[in-house]
């Protein structure tokens, strides 16, 4: 095999689309595969007169942007293990888009016709591509807006179809029971009994249908996700409820598989990941043993990667001690910050903002609907008072009434009625504004302060967070995308970011801050331990030199 094809085989072995292929199959794929290298900012030359070739991202990252007659639509950035192109061969229809490299990238490319032949010859390749396409489809939905751009999704699954059959046995049995009232109708000698039996049978059928529909909707909206950093359980009912629980791989102690009688017979089961403070359950999924093995291997790989990173940090530390770099030139003094006047619109935006970023601190307030609910009464009364005063003033000026005077009509609401209403409105605003949830570089903060009252603030280090749970309850919560983030810190009291806007974003922010803090702490610990080891090595060499140095012999 030529050297370039051997290189392509090595790249193919490390990519998910070609996972599980034999050496002979990989050699067959490599024989029709070419390696394309593009620089940052460079676009991929896609033909306009035929189906695009197939491209698999081997290294780097590219941005794919769909073209349509209305507007351009950026798609999730594609990185290693992702692919694009050959839309007719894979999807059945051609799409038009552009692809630009976000960093230096290596692409493995196969002509669309040759890929179609490979898909017929290698069923495993076709299965791998379909699995990745399901992941793409899931990523484009709102329920996966919590995934970070650099996070790799390794598995997206839901309940096994056979479980739906088992779950529908209850509604089916209820529907069969409706035959009894209809039989009573046929045997009944009276019209009244027949009418009651008919309505009872129809009611049972309607109840069975609603039960079956609810079971199906619940089935299709439950997802289970495994990424390279966490396991996630998503449960939702469209328009009514949305809940997500997750645990980082580092917090999982072990995994187990549980199956029922029907599960063993029909091929589905549950995978339970035991985290430090709670379990993540993948209920009634296909091939539970394989999913368990995947989570186990990822957990062990994460631990191994941490050890490897520690060794690299240690080696760099020893290298710097043996051959220290030249001292950096002193930085020039920073100029004093210029005083800028904040425009009124920006101040108003900040006053009513529910998501504020200031340096390393992210501040969340409760959703604006919470504020509107509390200020609804004073707002309506203010509008009513102003409307009544305007109406009375028009009547008085028009001569339709003689009392009160125009001055009284203006001054009475202005000084006697509107001030307490404005105070009432402002009290609710300050109360809403003072209830804040903060995510800093090393902790989470929950602060509540009543106007002219007590302030209660509690905090917990990010390192104490073992698991998080997201809740969107009710039609309003799902439609307007607000809910709760329940944070388990290993204590009796849980932190709850209550009724915040876009709780998935808060959960993602906490996860990112926790990961960054853990990496920083790990680096600091390794640096400290490395400094100690280097000091010991220096002392060892010093003593060794003394022992090897020849001693002066006494004169005779």
Confidence of residue 422 (pLDDT cuts 50, 70, 90): very high
What Å distances lie between residue 207 and 171, 175, 202, 270, CA to CA?
Answer: 8, 8, 9, 29
User: What average pLDDT does this structure show over 1-27?
Assistant: 85
Q: How much is the pLDDT for 6?
A: 85
> Any alpha helices (H) in 267-352, and if so which ranges?
288-322, 344-351
What would the pLDDT profile of 437-460 be if each residue is shown by its tens digit?
A: 999 988 999 998 888 778 888 898
Whether residue 247 contacts residue 466, with contact meaning beta carbons closer than 8 Å, is answered with yes
What would the pLDDT profile of 467-481 be if each residue is shown by its tens digit?
A: 788 887 777 887 788
Q: What is the token pair recorded at 318?
A: 């020893």
Distance between CA atoms of residues 463 and 250, nearest Å:
11
What would the pLDDT profile of 177-194 be if each residue is shown by its tens digit?
A: 888 887 877 777 677 777
Q: List, as one string, the DSSP characters of 358-391.
A: ETTEEEEEB-HHHHHHHHHHHHHHHHHHHHHHHH
3-state helix, strand, coil in the chain (%, to 5): 50, 25, 25
Is it true that the peptide bond before 404 is cis, omega within 30 degrees of 0?
yes
Q: How much is the pLDDT for 71?
A: 62
Whether residue 486 contacts residue 466, with contact meaning beta carbons closer than 8 Å, is answered with no
Whether residue 211 contacts residue 178, with contact meaning beta carbons closer than 8 Å, is answered with no
Domain borders along the chain are: 3-140, 165-220
Asked if pLDDT for residue 555 goes beyond 70, the answer is no
Q: Give domain 3-140's CATH superfamily.
A: Jelly Rolls (2.60.120.10)
Q: How much is the pLDDT for 556?
A: 45
Confidence of residue 32 (pLDDT cuts 50, 70, 90): very high
Instruction: Give φ, ψ of 498 to 5 degrees.
Output: -95, 125
Q: What is the token pair recorded at 217?
A: 């909707």
Distance between CA atoms of residues 22 and 14, nearest Å:
13
Give the highest mean pLDDT range of 9-13, 75-79, 238-242, 532-536: 9-13
Using DSSP, state whether 51 is helix, strand or coil.
Answer: coil
Q: How much is the pLDDT for 554?
A: 53
Angle at 410 between CA 406 and CA 413, to 5 degrees: 135
Compute the Cα dihedral for 520, 526, 531, 532 and give only its sign. Answer: positive
What would the pLDDT profile of 202-246 be if each residue is shown by its tens digit?
A: 888 899 898 888 888 778 778 898 988 889 888 776 555 567 778
Q: What is the token pair recorded at 271?
A: 């995978």
């Amino acid at each position: 095999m030529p050297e370039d094809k051997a290189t392509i085989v090595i790249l193919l072995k490390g990519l998910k689309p070609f996972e599980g292929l034999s050496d002979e199959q990989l050699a067959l794929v490599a024989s029709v595969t070419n390696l394309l290298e593009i620089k940052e900012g460079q676009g991929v030359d896609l033909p306009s007169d035929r189906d695009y070739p197939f491209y698999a991202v081997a290294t780097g990252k590219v941005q794919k942007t769909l073209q349509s007659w209305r507007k351009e639509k950026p798609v999730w950035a594609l990185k290693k293990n992702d692919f694009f192109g050959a839309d007719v061969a894979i999807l059945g229809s051609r799409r038009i888009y552009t692809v630009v490299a976000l960093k230096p990238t290596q692409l493995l490319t196969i002509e669309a016709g040759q890929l179609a032949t490979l898909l017929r010859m290698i069923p495993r390749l076709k299965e791998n591509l379909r699995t990745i396409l399901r992941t793409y489809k899931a990523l484009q939905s709102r329920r996966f807006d919590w995934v970070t751009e650099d996070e790799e999704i390794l598995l997206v699954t839901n309940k096994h179809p056979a479980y739906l059959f088992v779950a529908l046995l209850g509604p089916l049995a209820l529907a069969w029971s409706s035959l009894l009232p209809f039989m009573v109708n046929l045997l009944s000698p009276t019209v009244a009994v027949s009418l009651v039996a008919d309505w009872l049978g129809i009611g049972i059928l309607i109840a069975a249908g609603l039960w079956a529909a609810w079971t199906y909707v619940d089935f299709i909206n439950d997802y289970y996700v495994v990424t390279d950093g966490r396991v996630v359980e998503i449960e939702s009912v469209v328009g009514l409820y949305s809940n997500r629980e997750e645990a980082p791989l580092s917090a999982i102690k072990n995994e187990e598989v549980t199956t029922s009688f029907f599960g063993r017979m029909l091929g589905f089961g549950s995978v339970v990941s035991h985290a430090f403070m709670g379990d993540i359950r993948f209920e009634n999924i296909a091939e539970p043993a394989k999913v368990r093995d995947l989570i186990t291997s990822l957990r062990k790989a994460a631990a191994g990667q941490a050890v490897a990173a520690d060794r690299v940090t240690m080696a760099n530390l020893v290298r710097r001690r043996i051959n220290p770099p030249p001292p950096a030139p002193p930085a020039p003094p920073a100029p004093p910050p210029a005083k800028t006047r904040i425009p009124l619109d920006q101040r108003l935006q900040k006053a009513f903002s529910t998501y504020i970023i200031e340096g390393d601190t992210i501040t969340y307030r409760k959703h604006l609907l919470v504020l509107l609910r509390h200020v609804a009464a004073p707002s309506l009364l203010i509008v009513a008072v102003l409307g009544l005063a305007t109406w009375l003033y028009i009547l008085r000026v028009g001569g339709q009434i003689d009392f009160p005077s125009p001055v009284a009509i203006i001054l009475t609401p202005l000084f006697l009625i509107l001030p307490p209403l404005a105070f009432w409105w402002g009290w609710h605003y300050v109360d809403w504004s003072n209830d804040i949830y903060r995510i800093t570089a090393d902790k989470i903060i929950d602060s509540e302060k009543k106007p002219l009252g007590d302030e209660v603030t509690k905090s917990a280090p990010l390192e104490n967070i073992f698991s998080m749970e997201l809740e969107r309850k009710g039609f309003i919560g799902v439609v307007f995308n607000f809910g709760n983030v329940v944070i388990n810190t290993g204590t009796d009291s849980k932190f709850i970011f209550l009724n915040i806007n876009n709780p998935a974003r808060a959960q993602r922010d906490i996860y990112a801050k926790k990961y960054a803090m853990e990496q920083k702490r790990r680096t600091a610990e390794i640096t400290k331990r490395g400094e100690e080891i280097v000091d010991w090595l220096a002392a060892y060499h010093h003593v060794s030199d003394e022992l090897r140095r020849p001693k002066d012999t006494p004169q005779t």
